[in-house]
Structure 1
Amino acid sequence: MNRLEKGIFSRLTPSQVLVIGFALTILTGAILLSLPISTESGKPLPFIDALFTSTSAVCVTGLVVVDTATTYSTFGEVVIMFLIQTGGLGFMTYATFFALLVGKKIGMRERLILREAFNQVDMSGVVRLVLMVLIITLVIEGLGFILLSIRFVPEWGWGKGLYYALFHSVSAFNNAGFDLFGDYQKFSNLIRYVGDPMVNLTISGLIILGGIGFIVILELVQFRKTKRLSLHTKLVLTMTSILIVAGMILILATEWTNPATLGKLSFGDRLLASYFQSVSPRTAGFNTLNLAEMYPATLFFIILLMFVGASPSSTGGGIKTTTLATILLAVWGMIRGRDNVVAYRRRIPYNQVYKALTITVAALTLVIMVTMFLTITERADILTAMFETVSAFGTVGLSIGLTPELSVAGKILIILTMFAGRLGPLTIAVALARRLQEPDPPIRFPEERPLIG
């Protein structure tokens, strides 16, 4: 790195470095995917389609405008898998790992960027956290690879079976939702495995582990030694369990008699499909049911699940489970007439409540604006437009058929929405701001209460 590059780098805030880094990774992936070697036909893919796929992979979304299996060659699929892994863990994770391999010291600025990338409060232990993240990823994806191999090798043979197991293990743990089953039926995803316990439980397990976040996984691994769980971990586990169970019950209830989804399945398969479809909207993007055939009530509930998404420091998107938990706790405290927001005998600071509200309002604003534009550019109904928008923002990847038919304007809108959803609207807003924080004015203004509600 020359002196000029160091000077430019030093003037960027951590948020700006993350935004630029993700953008450059996406651009690199788009260039590779637009090459003739990346397609089955040997013809260059339109750059807008390559850019869309690259953005979807790096932002671990899974929305596609072309079928992955039938459009991309093995080289293109490997590029997509690498982009998924890079996007899920973050480019700074790999940069730090390679820097440690060559013996380079991780400086203060790099630690600040890592703190921002992993949403940490302080910088202590961030380098160790990076190494633990890599180890956790290797172990969990390796286990998923073994379990899926047991199912895929007998069906597809050794070469294809092992390759499919690796690709889908990486895609599931990183909550990406990309699949290679288009040879069976374009955009079919995991519909052929709707009643397969091995595939459903393995994929959903990878999704959950990738979605709860590395901090939570580390605390659970160390629990036998520490005998303690942080408030963050307790909130993540509580909200994740509630959302999965509530989602399963509601999908089961609303789709029970739908002949196009659950109605044609046995009792056991209905339970399995409802469970899987409750887990998947938590930013994963896999589906074992035909979403386009679901009732509007079910689709709207899935939109809500997608909007919440996964948890902080995870491979998923959305406003995050702890954000929802903080807002609900604040509302409950207000209803009970309490000034403090309390959970598990711990008080949540007001600035965390403000941050949760800011993230939620910013996300709602983005979703509403993009939904409105899609109804104009694609002439789509409001439910369809909102479903695709929230799927992009939550980096989920579920679709009810609009994304493959998007116009160029629609593709650009979804690309920007996926990018904002992966990094977070607050991170992007901070990156665009001149200063990271604006201090309070030196004077204290008199208090006056407006009428609320």
Structure 2
Amino acid sequence: MKVEKRRAFLYEPIQLNPPQILALLFLVLVLAGALLLKLPIASEKGVSWIDAFFTAVSAATVTGLVTVDPGSTFTLFGEIVILFLIQVGGLGIMSFAVLVVLMLGKRIGIKQRLIMQEALNQPSIGGVIRLVRNLLIFSLSIEAIAVILLSFRWVPDLGWGKGIYYSIFHTIAAYNNAGFGLWPDNLVRYVGDPTVNLVITLLIITGGIGFTVLVDLWYSKKWKDLSLHSRIMIWSTLFVNVVSILVFYAFEYNNPHTLGHLSLGEKIWAAYFQGISPRTAGFNTIDIAGMRQDSLLFMIMLMFIGAGSASTGGGIKLTTFIVIIFAVLTFLRGKNEVTVLKRTIRTGIILRALAIATISMLLVFTGVMLLAMTEKAPFLTILFEVVSAFGTVGLTMGFTFKLTLIGKIIIICVMFLGKIGPLTLAFSIARPDKSNIRYPDGDLFTG
């Protein structure tokens, strides 16, 4: 009997569920990217294995945290590898896989559709392939338009070749909410430039609002035709962005290290850019390390909340945050059902939101605790770095370059887990309980 079990263990194929397959594919992408970045032709003077792996993870997770300056460290080949990792990581590995299969005229099976459902965080497999096709068409079209607009600004300054290349690189990085820049100061030199500020932020918003919302907007003729998810995302994105811009303008107005030395017009543009960027984009036009502590705490909250579901951004997602807020308000009002825009939210969605937020906070807490043991830095600096890595944001207070080897490994793990998502991680490990047994009610004292 033992021999038969041993044979079955050795020869039976390993069955992986969609979350496990998704995590495995992402790991393969990261490993391939690291190997390519380690090649002699990928860097000017060579990079260490840990820096190559860190950069590959940061690019594939569309984060933007770097331990070396991409613009001066990597060659054109290395930068193209980073760009490819950003595009595939942002739009999704399975999206590109489906594109190849469709181009070959093959059929997409149920298992592949289930993986796509998990990758795009969709409630069902119905219409997933059409969503992927529209996702790719919309994304590439938006990126093409942005490249043209940025070229008008950068070609006169940098020349045709470099100007167009920089436009392509920063367009893909901005749309996929990755904070990679080819200038050492990111976009600080363009703090008051209207074209750069508008194009980059519109790309951030478009990529971060979620593919399902973009598709819904394209096909819906009237506001009432939009789904509940789309309406919540549009309203909440507008509200959060406006509040963030006003907060940063008020908090940093007299700070000599950020807005204080700028003209009034540049202050407005800087506050506008920093109000939109923290929700997983990672670009900055002012020195983040010079910001006030209250501004940094507010930015940490924005990074933790993140962008929209099924978007290129990270974080717990804006809709998750909205569901939790409305659940709290429902309890305070003494009601039994959570309602948003005259629609009742199912209990399963509320439990999912609570699970995402709880697992995310545990992940951030663990990362902060480990870095506090291995790194010599103020607590706020460590917290900012970990939340930025978890939310796949890429903003830093200059701490990334100072990380020790163990610190780099910790941030790599946080970026990876933040990208695949807390629920994907949980579903990859947990075993579903299919029992239909219901136990008697019990009371617990809470609060």
- Is the counterpart of residue 438 in structure 1 residue 442 in structure 2? no
Match 2:226 to one of 210, 225, 229: 229
Listed as ranges, the matches of 1:297-308 within 5 Å are: 297-308=294-305
Within the candidate set 350, 356, 369, 2:347 is matched to 350
Q: Alignment partner for residue 447 of structure 1, among 423, 437, 441?
A: 441
Cα offset for 1:192? Answer: 0.2
Match among 142, 149, 153 for residue 140 of structure 1: 142
Task: Tell me which amino acid in the other structure corresponds to 1:20.
Answer: L
How far is the alpha carbon of 1:449 from its aligned partner? 2.0
1:293-372 equivalence runs, <5 A: 293-372=290-369
Letter in 2 for 1:173: Y
- Residue in 1 aligned with 2:18? 14
Query: What SS does structure 2 have at the residue aligned with 1:60?
Result: coil
How many pairs were matched up?
437
Q: Matches of 2:240 and 2:433 in 1, distance apart?
A: 36
**CA distance in structure 1 between the partners assigned to 2:266 and 2:220 by the alignment:** 35
Please give the alpha-carbon distance, in whole angstroms, between the structure 1 residues aligned to 2:360 and 2:13.
31
Is 2:410 the partner of 1:413?
yes
Aligned residue for 1:68? Answer: 70
**Residue deviations 1:300-340, cap 9 Å, x none?**
11000000010100000000000000000001111111100
Q: Percent identity?
A: 49
Q: Which letter maps to 1:302?
A: M
Q: Which amino acid aligns with 1:347?
A: T
Which residue, 199, 202, 218 being the options, matches 1:202? 199
Cα shift at 1:225? 6.9
Is the 8 Å Cα contact of residues 57 and 415 (structure 2) preserved in structure 1? yes
Deviations 1:242-262, CA, capped at 9 Å, x for gaps: 211111111111111101111
Separation of aligned partners in 1, 2:48 and 2:117: 37
Q: Does 1:101 align with 2:103?
A: yes
Distance across 1 between alignment mates of 2:159 and 2:277: 27
TM-superposed CA distance for 1:375, in Å, is 1.4
Matches for 1:158-237 after TM superposition, within 5 Å:
158-182=160-184, 188-224=185-221, 228-237=225-234
Structure 1 residue aligned with 2:120, among 115, 118, 121? Answer: 118
Task: Find the counterpart in structure 1 of residue 5 from structure 2.
Answer: none
Q: Partner residue of 1:35?
A: 39
Q: TM-score, normalised by structure 2?
A: 0.96
CA apart distance, 1:373: 1.2
Deviations 1:133-177 (A, max 9, x none): 110111110111011101000010000000000000000000001
Q: Which moved more, 1:204-213 or 1:92-101?
A: 92-101
Helix, strand or coil at the partner of 2:221: helix
Residue matched to 2:401: 404
| Contact 2:131/2:215, CA 8 A, preserved across alignment | no
Distance in 1 (alpha carbons) for counterparts of 2:356 and 2:144: 34
Q: Which amino acid aligns with 1:101?
A: M
Query: Is there any run of 5+ residues in structure 1 with no aligned partner, and where?
Result: 1-5, 183-187
Note the residue ranges of structure 2 that are not aligned, 5 or more in a row.
1-10
Structure 1 residue 386 corresponds to structure 2 residue 388 = no
Task: Give the letter for the 1:367 counterpart.
Answer: V
| Corresponding position of 2:268 | 271
Partner of 1:185: none
Q: Is the 8 A contact 2:155 2:162 kept in 1?
A: yes
TM-score calculated relative to the size of structure 1: 0.95
CA offsets, 1:335-357, max 9 Å, x none?
11110000111000011101101
Provide closer, same or farther for how the CA distance between residues 344 and 160 of structure 1 changes in structure 2, counting only shifts above 3 A.
Answer: same
Letter in 2 for 1:451: F
RMSD: 1.3
